[in-house]
Amino acid sequence: MKIAILGSTGYTGVKLIELLLNHPFAEIVFISSEQYQDRKFSEIYPAFINIFDQICLSTDELIDNTEKYKPEVIFFATPNGIALKHAHIFIEKGIHVIDLSADYRFKDLKTHFKYYAIERHNPLDLSLNKLATYGLCESYSAEKKLELSSKKAQLIANPGCYTTASILSVLPLIALHQKNKDILDLSSFIIDAKSGVSGAGRKASTAHLFTEINESFKPYNLAHKHRHTPELEEFFSIYSSDNIKLTFSPHLIPITSGLLATSYLKFKQKPNQPESFLRDIYINFYKDSHFIRILPENEYPNTKWACGTNNAFIQIDYDPISESIIATCAIDNTIKGASGQAIQNMNILFGLTENLGLDLKPRMI
C-alpha cells in the first residue's frame, strides 16, 4: 500500500510514521510539512536518523503530481481546515482519505461551525461531508466493514482522542439503549475525562511549556465548552437513535501520552444482578474486538498499560449504594486516539485484518 502523509511533523504525523514503519504492507511514498518543507524528516527528529530520512515536501506538490507518487491512501495529519479544502481532490481520483482532523466528523454542519468557526461553501466539500464515515472502528458492524472495504475511495473522519476513549467506555451500553430505551437513564450522563499533553500538539505556546504543565493538574472547557462534547453527542445520538446530551469534563494530566475516561450513567430499570448484567454486556459486545481488554473485577485501567499500543483497557463497575454505573477506559491518545486507529481504519479499507502492524507490545519501563 502506497501511503502519503500530509502534516508529517506534527505529533499525529510522527506517530503515523513510527507505526507505519512497522506495517508489513505499508510504503510511505510522500510526506509533507509546511513548517519544515524541503528538510529531511530525520533533521527535525534526529531519533529517526538511518531509520526514516525522507524529505518533507508540500501539499501542493502532491496535488500537482499525484500521478508521480501514486498514493493509494492519504492521511491528513493536518490542522483543522486543511482536509476540507483538499480531500475532495484525492477522493475524485479514487484515493482513500483518512482525515485525523475534525473537518469531517460532524454531519450537522451548524454544530461544526459553532465549535470550529470555519465557513464551508464548496459544494464538493459539502457533498463529501455527507459521505464521510465516522471512524470509530469498534462501532462498525460486519456489514459496514464489508462496505468500507469494497469501495474504491472512502473518506474516513478519524475520531478525536477524547471521543475514542469516551465512546469505548460506554459503547456496549449505548448499543443496548439503541435496542431498548427502558433500561438506561441517560438524564445524568457524565464523562469525566483526563488527557496527557500530547493532545495539544507541537505548536509553540506558553500554556504548554514544561514549566507551566509539570506538577499541575487542571480541568478546562467544562460545561459544553470543549469541542469534543458535540462530537460525542452527535455520535451517541445517531448510534442509539435518540437525542443524547451529556456533561463532558476534560482535564489535563502532566504526562506525555495516555487518556482516561470515567463515565457515569444510571439504570432506569435496575436488573436483578446489575454487576454481572453489565459485565456480560461488555464482554459480549467486545468479544470480537481485537484491541479491547475488559479487565478482571477490581482491576482498574492504568493509562500506562495502553501506552505504546492500540489497545483500550476497560472496566465496568456498579456502585450498589449510590446505584451508579461507572465505566472506565484507558487508551494511548495518539495511537488508539489518533494514528493507530487511523491505521486500523486503513487496514479495514483494504480488507486486511484489523491488527496488521498494530500488535504493539506494552512498555512497562
Residues 41-70 that bind a copy of itself (CB under 8 A): 45-51
Residue 354 lies near a copy of itself (rule: CB under 8 A): no
Annotation says 329 is catalytic:
no
Q: Which residues contact 294 (CB under 8 A, 6 or more apart)?
A: 279, 282, 283, 286, 314, 315, 316
CB 194 to a copy of itself: min, Å: 6
Binding positions for a copy of itself, 68-97, rule CB under 8 A: none
Q: Which is nearer to a copy of itself, 130 or 361 (CB)?
A: 361
Cβ at position 346, least distance to a copy of itself in Å: 17
Closer of 143 and 204 to a copy of itself (Cβ) = 204
131-to-57, 91, 157, 290 alpha-carbon distances in Å: 29, 11, 10, 27
Residue 137's H or E segment, with its range, is none
Identify which of 306, 324, 326, 303 has the alpha carbon closest to the alpha carbon of residue 316.
326
By CB under 8 A, the residues from 220 to 249 that bind a copy of itself are 220, 222-225, 245-247, 249
326 binds a copy of itself (CB under 8 A): yes
Burial 166-187 (b: 16+ CB within 10 A, else e): bbbbbbbbbebbeeeeebbbbe
Among positions 254-273, residues that touch a copy of itself (CB under 8 A) are: 254-258, 260, 262, 264, 266
**Which has the closest alpha carbon to 50: 21, 74, 25, 29?**
21
Which is it for strands 27-31 and 2-6: parallel, antiparallel or unpaired? parallel
Are 174 and 242 within 8 A, CB to CB?
A: no
CB of 269 to a copy of itself, least distance (A): 15
Interface residues for a copy of itself in 106-145 (CB under 8 A)? Answer: none
Distance CA 230, CA 345 (A): 22
Residues 175 to 204 in contact with a copy of itself, rule: CB under 8 A:
187-190, 192, 194, 196-198, 200, 202-204
Catalytic residue among 56, 137, 161, 307: 161
Check binding of 7 to a copy of itself (CB under 8 A): no
Report the site for a copy of itself in 290-309 (rule: CB under 8 A).
293, 295-296, 298-309
Which residues contact residue 55 at a Cβ distance below 8 angstroms, ignoring those fewer than 6 apart?
Answer: 31, 38, 39, 40, 41
Nearest residue (CB) to a copy of itself, 101 versus 133 = 101
Does the footprint of a copy of itself cover residue 283 (CB under 8 A)? no
Q: Least Å distance between CB 348 and a copy of itself?
A: 20
Cell of 79: 490542522
The three-state secondary structure class of 144 is helix
The site for a copy of itself, by CB under 8 A, has a size of 94
CA dihedral (228, 83, 11, 62) in degrees, to 10, reads 170
- Decide whether 23 or 105 has the Cβ nearer to a copy of itself: 23
Q: Quote the least distance from Cβ 178 to a copy of itself, whole Å.
A: 20
312 binds a copy of itself (CB under 8 A): no
CB closer to a copy of itself, 125 vs 231:
231
- Residue from 208, 268, 270, 279 touching a copy of itself (CB under 8 A): that is 208
Separation between Cα atoms, residue 339 and residue 310, nearest integer Å: 9
For a copy of itself, the closer of residues 24 and 123 by Cβ is 24
Query: Which residue number, 179 or 361, has a Cβ lying nearer to a copy of itself?
Result: 361
Residue 307, burial from CB neighbour count under 10 angstroms (0-12, 13-18, 19+):
buried
Three-class SS of residue 220? coil
Residue 319 interacting with a copy of itself (CB under 8 A): yes
Positions marked catalytic:
161
